[in-house]
Structure 1
Amino acid sequence: MRQLIRPALAVTVLAVPLLLGSASATLDNDAQTILNFGPRVAGSPANEQARAYLEAQFRALGYETRRQDFSYPRFDDLGSDVKLGERVLGGNALQNSTGGTLSGPVVRVPGVGTTEEFARVDVRGKVAVVARGEIPFAQKARNALAAGAAGLVIVNNADGELRGTLGDRVALPVLGVSPTVGAALIDGAAVTLSVRVREGEVKASNVIAYKSGVTAPELLFGAHMDSVQGAPGANDNLSGTLSVLEIARRAANTPLAARAYFLLFDGEEDGLLGSRAFVKDNAPLVGTLKAMFNLDMVGVDVTPLSLTGDSKLVEAARGIAGVQASAGQPGGSDHVPFAQAGIPTLFFHRGLDKNYHQPGDKVLDPALVSETVEVALKVADSVLSATPVR
């Protein structure tokens, strides 16, 4: 999931029955199988392996599947760092910087990298180090380039790693680092700066599952299947992916299957690109929807399960699950393009856990996924009960 813009009001789901036994075992098996593929970055082999596995699960349940292919340009950091002696220090290439590996002495530029500050030191052919803040990253990089620096390191002014974009292309390797790494880069130290990047077209693909003959779905259950570089993506968002699969499993031999589509979106982490592509390319189908349910980060118990979205869907949730409810419209996930197209949406979410977009995102709780499935099915039943069968 992309960084969440959370509204002040939400629906908080209280106690609901859990699925136990074989369902949890199936969820756990699916989770471990997919996590073993590795981070599911859009366009990566692991992403394709996960997609093929999930397609097979849908087909085994009697659903037809099709892919929606799309592509987009992306800048990828392939693993950048700065090496001090034998010590490799982490860092992140800033988007739009040039790739390259170079060695040279560190020059600590006093301040944030203004033209005046660069004029006080000699950075020609060296690795300049500046602090984050006051002026844009791109301006720092242009000032370093004009002063003759061979590379630039920007040190975060808050705890944690520094990620960002220059906005404009600058012909200079630029690395963002944490304050801890920045402190190790003392003036005059010999370092090797490696900014390893790739710019190219990403080939991505949504998975669409449905029962044969269903062309005008009333409900759409969706979740994004991609993760970010370096993050296994158990909670973000294998938890939502498996929720959609489990809903499809539960619905397979019920009337719900004839009134629903199941979507696994690609490219969410790069800007909700899969859901945007689906809404754009499937306008007649989208226009038949009574509701779109989006499940994102529901496998770690950070907060109680929250449902936010359309006021009528919120009322349906409150009525069937004993909830405290208010409507809202959060951003940052795949329901947004549907809401922008005028489709009522409901967003299922449990909050940002400590491993959000980190290598530690390796664990999800099948019981929490099962709980999410129960709630989604109950809301779906309420919505469809109020809508005559065509």
Structure 2
Amino acid sequence: MRQVGVRAVLGALVLGSSAFASIENDFSTVLKFGPRVTGTPANEQARTYLEGQLRTLGYTTRREAFSYPRFDDLGSDVRVGERTLRGVALQGSAGGEVSAPVALVPGVGTPEDFRGVDVRGKVAVVRRGQIPFAQKARNALAAGARGLIVVNNEAGELRGGTLGERVELPVLGVSSATGAGLREGQRVALSVRVRQGDVRGVNVVAFKAGVTKPQMLFGAHMDSVAGAPGANDNLSGTLAVLDLARRAANTPLAARSFFVLFDGEEDGLRGSRAFVKDNAALVGGLRAMFNFDMVGVNVDPLGVSGDAALVNAAREANPALGSFSGGGGGSDHASFAQAGVPTLFFHTGIDPNYHQPGDTVADPALIRQTVDVALKTVDAVLSAAPARR
């Protein structure tokens, strides 16, 4: 029986209409579950739904679980009189409730800065910048402070801050606007509510029965951060992978591919790292890994980065395609690149609602455009001679 090449089915893959009614339905269904933080019920609801869609398409699925330690902010704030001002606990901070006067420290929290102010028994306030958060916290603790507030040095909330180590002091990061409202000697109630423990993540792997040595892997992370519904980051990429699986389902491409929805990306690429570690032989046989992260908001035209040959192939398939450099190491393709797999990262820029409650919008047309470009690029990848590795 003559083997049908990828090029012979490319037109059907790119233009197939069966996908056109599905992205909207999948989007509205999953978005209703809420923020898909790893280890939460919403995360599991989304996984169960997406896994069901893949099975409906005729794919076999398996779940690959992994665990890792995580620091969670359970809702931290500082109360000033009747006002409650939200903040974010810095990772590594001790939890605690502190009622004490404010001590404004002029500077960023160096030992010299603290020598000029009496912070003993008080909540010290310092600016972000110049020295690591851990040094600020250790210096505040050594000076006798009962708590520390770090004020962002740019617009917006101070998110993602980490001490990098455990410091026995409640440490809260706040926006510059919140910091500007704190006054010397003003009594505040600092509440840092945190939890440290292991979290269980679960990747979903989809493939046609009997496929054990894929040449292509299409991946995206399905988790989001706390408080963010994750429409663009990264339900858009998740649905790109699902649409790829849908269009490829009855074609030879399905017999050459794995489709993976990673968990724990927002906590440090945990899912993709676990997959690479636990599937070394499979990963070693890949011709390419395509990763989709934030492809639903047209901040910038669709762009790609990664392996030079793959970037060139993508640009030949779509001359209007952009490219970008830098900032590409913070998504799941990085785990595969470190293992020597050629990767191609699809991305449309960081939108204003990135990691914010307003991340509720993604454009299905942009997702389809991304899938079109990916499928055209696949043809070039699978038609080329395998690279020696």
TM more than 0.5: yes
Which residue number corresponds to residue 4 of structure 2?
Answer: none
Which of 328, 339, 342 does residue 344 from structure 1 map onto?
Answer: 342
Structure 1 residues 109-188: aligned runs within 5 Å: 109-163=105-159, 164-188=161-185
Query: How many angstroms apart in 1 are the aligned matches of 2:145 and 2:115?
Result: 12
Contact 2:14–2:375 (Cα < 8 Å) also in 1: no
1:189 paired with 2:186, answer yes
Query: How many angstroms apart in 1 are the aligned matches of 2:284 and 2:16?
Result: 36
CA drift of 1:377 comes to: 1.3
Q: 1:83/1:69 Cα in 2 relative to 1: closer, same or farther (>3 Å)?
A: same
Which of 197, 200, 209 does residue 197 from structure 2 map onto?
Answer: 200
CA drift of 1:302 comes to: 1.0
Contact 2:72–2:196 (Cα < 8 Å) also in 1: yes
Q: 1:61/1:106 Cα in 2 relative to 1: closer, same or farther (>3 Å)?
A: same
Which residue number corresponds to residue 6 of structure 2?
Answer: none
Point out where structure 1 has 5 or more consecutive residues left out of the alignment: 1-16
Contact 1:97–1:171 (Cα < 8 Å) also in 2: yes
CA drift of 1:384 comes to: 2.3
Which residue number corresponds to residue 10 of structure 2?
Answer: none
Which residue number corresponds to residue 288 of structure 1?
Answer: 285
1:78 paired with 2:74, answer yes
Q: 1:104/1:251 Cα in 2 relative to 1: closer, same or farther (>3 Å)?
A: same
CA drift of 1:168 comes to: 2.3
Give the letter for the 2:364 counterpart.
P
Q: 1:287/1:202 Cα in 2 relative to 1: closer, same or farther (>3 Å)?
A: same
Contact 2:134–2:163 (Cα < 8 Å) also in 1: yes
CA drift of 1:30 comes to: 0.7
Which of 239, 242, 247 does residue 242 from structure 1 map onto?
Answer: 239
Q: In percent, how many aligned pairs have the same letter?
A: 70
Which residue number corresponds to residue 54 of structure 2?
Answer: 58
Query: How many angstroms apart in 2 are the aligned matches of 1:366 and 1:54?
Result: 17
Query: How many angstroms apart in 2 are the aligned matches of 1:229 and 1:222?
Result: 22
CA drift of 1:207 comes to: 0.5
Contact 2:301–2:322 (Cα < 8 Å) also in 1: no
Query: How many angstroms apart in 2 are the aligned matches of 1:315 and 1:153?
Result: 48
Contact 1:316–1:379 (Cα < 8 Å) also in 2: yes
Give the letter for the 2:174 counterpart.
V
Greater Cα offset, 236-245 or 277-286 = 277-286
CA drift of 1:291 comes to: 1.1
Q: 1:132/1:321 Cα in 2 relative to 1: closer, same or farther (>3 Å)?
A: closer
Contact 1:19–1:371 (Cα < 8 Å) also in 2: no
Which of 205, 229, 232 does residue 232 from structure 1 map onto?
Answer: 229
Contact 1:292–1:343 (Cα < 8 Å) also in 2: yes
Greater Cα offset, 114-123 or 132-141 = 114-123
Which residue number corresponds to residue 12 of structure 1?
Answer: none
Query: How many angstroms apart in 2 are the aligned matches of 1:264 and 1:139?
Result: 38
Q: For 1:223, what is the secondary structure of its paired residue?
A: strand
Give the letter for the 1:267 counterpart.
G
Q: 1:326/1:266 Cα in 2 relative to 1: closer, same or farther (>3 Å)?
A: closer
Give the letter for the 2:363 counterpart.
D
CA drift of 1:20 comes to: 9.2
Contact 1:20–1:367 (Cα < 8 Å) also in 2: no
CA drift of 1:87 comes to: 0.9
Query: How many angstroms apart in 1 are the aligned matches of 2:332 and 2:107?
Result: 40
Contact 2:301–2:321 (Cα < 8 Å) also in 1: no
CA drift of 1:328 comes to: 6.3
Q: For 2:358, what is the secondary structure of its paired residue?
A: coil
Query: How many angstroms apart in 2 are the aligned matches of 1:215 and 1:262?
Result: 12
CA drift of 1:69 comes to: 0.7
Which residue number corresponds to residue 252 of structure 1?
Answer: 249
1:90 paired with 2:103, answer no
Question: When the two structures are superposed, what TM-score results if normalisation uses the length of structure 2?
Answer: 0.90
CA drift of 1:43 comes to: 1.4
CA drift of 1:64 comes to: 0.5
CA drift of 1:326 comes to: 7.2
Which of 311, 319, 329 does residue 331 from structure 1 map onto?
Answer: 329
Contact 2:304–2:321 (Cα < 8 Å) also in 1: no
Which residue number corresponds to residue 360 of structure 2?
Answer: 362
Point out where structure 2 has 5 or more consecutive residues left out of the alignment: 1-12
Which of 305, 315, 319 does residue 316 from structure 2 map onto?
Answer: 319
Query: How many angstroms apart in 2 are the aligned matches of 1:334 and 1:115?
Result: 39
Which of structures 1 and 2 has the larger relative contact order (alpha carbons within 8 angstroms, sep 6+)? 1
Contact 1:90–1:177 (Cα < 8 Å) also in 2: yes
Contact 1:315–1:325 (Cα < 8 Å) also in 2: no
Give the letter for the 1:135 counterpart.
I
Residue-by-residue CA offset, 1:128-164 (whole Å, 9 max, x unaligned): 2122234332222222222322211111222222231
Query: How many angstroms apart in 2 are the aligned matches of 1:273 and 1:165?
Result: 17
Give the letter for the 1:181 counterpart.
T
